Amino acid sequence: MPSTPQPARRSPGPAILRFLLTAAFAVAAWRLIEWGVSVGHLVQWECWGGECSTNDPRSLLPIAGIICNVVLMVLLLKPARAFGFGLAALVGTLAALSGWNEAVTEGGVDPASVLTERRVVTAAAALAALIALLGLLSELKTTGYGARLLGARRVPAVLVDYGPAEGDYGRIGAKDAAALGFGTAYLTFTDNGRRHRVKVRAREQWVGHPLFAVFRETRPERARIALPWIRSFPALERPEPDAVPATAAPDSFVAELERLAALRAAGHLTEEEFEAAKRRLLEQ
Q: Encode the chain (284 residues) as per-residue pLDDT tens digits.
A: 445 445 555 667 888 899 999 999 999 999 999 999 999 999 999 988 888 899 999 999 999 999 999 999 999 998 899 999 999 999 999 999 999 999 999 888 999 999 999 999 999 999 999 999 999 999 999 999 999 999 999 999 999 988 877 766 666 666 677 777 788 899 999 998 899 999 998 988 898 888 999 999 899 999 999 999 888 776 655 544 444 444 444 556 666 777 777 666 666 666 776 777 777 777 66
- End position of a domain, from candidates 91, 110, 143: 143
Nearest of 263, 261, 264, 243 to residue 253 by alpha carbon: 261
In this structure, the answer to whether residues 138 and 215 fall within a common structural domain is: no
pLDDT score at 168:
65
CA distances to 14, 40, 132 from 20, in Å: 10, 30, 21
Q: Tell me if 273 is assigned to some domain.
A: no
* Total number of domains constituting the chain: 2
Q: Tell me if 205 is assigned to some domain.
A: yes
CA distances to 24, 131, 176 from 19, in Å: 9, 21, 39
Nearest of 57, 69, 70 to residue 33 by alpha carbon: 69
Task: Please check whether residue 91 is in contact with residue 69, taking contact to mean a CB–CB distance below 8 angstroms.
Answer: yes
Q: Tell me if 36 is assigned to some domain.
A: yes
pLDDT score at 10:
63
In this structure, the answer to whether residues 157 and 62 fall within a common structural domain is: no
**pTM, entire model:** 0.73
In this structure, the answer to whether residues 159 and 211 fall within a common structural domain is: yes
What is the rounded CA–CA span in Å between residue 209 and residue 9? 9
pLDDT score at 248:
43
In this structure, the answer to whether residues 122 and 71 fall within a common structural domain is: yes
In this structure, the answer to whether residues 135 and 180 fall within a common structural domain is: no
Structural domain of 78 = 16-42+53-143
- End position of a domain, from candidates 73, 108, 143: 143
Q: Tell me if 170 is assigned to some domain.
A: yes
In this structure, the answer to whether residues 208 and 166 fall within a common structural domain is: yes
- End position of a domain, from candidates 226, 256, 277: 226
pLDDT score at 165:
73
Task: Please check whether residue 215 is in contact with residue 224, taking contact to mean a CB–CB distance below 8 angstroms.
Answer: yes
In this structure, the answer to whether residues 128 and 178 fall within a common structural domain is: no
Q: Which amino acid is at 170?
A: G
pLDDT score at 277:
73
The CA-based angle 48-50-53, given to 5 degrees, is 60
In this structure, the answer to whether residues 132 and 22 fall within a common structural domain is: yes
In this structure, the answer to whether residues 173 and 132 fall within a common structural domain is: no
In this structure, the answer to whether residues 62 and 121 fall within a common structural domain is: yes
Exposure b/e, 28-66, CB count within 10 A at least 16 = b: bbbbbbbbbbbbbeeeeeeeeeeeeeeeeeebebbebbb
In this structure, the answer to whether residues 58 and 139 fall within a common structural domain is: yes
Considering Cα of 15, then 75, then 211, then 221, what sign does the dihedral take? positive
Q: Tell me if 250 is assigned to some domain.
A: no
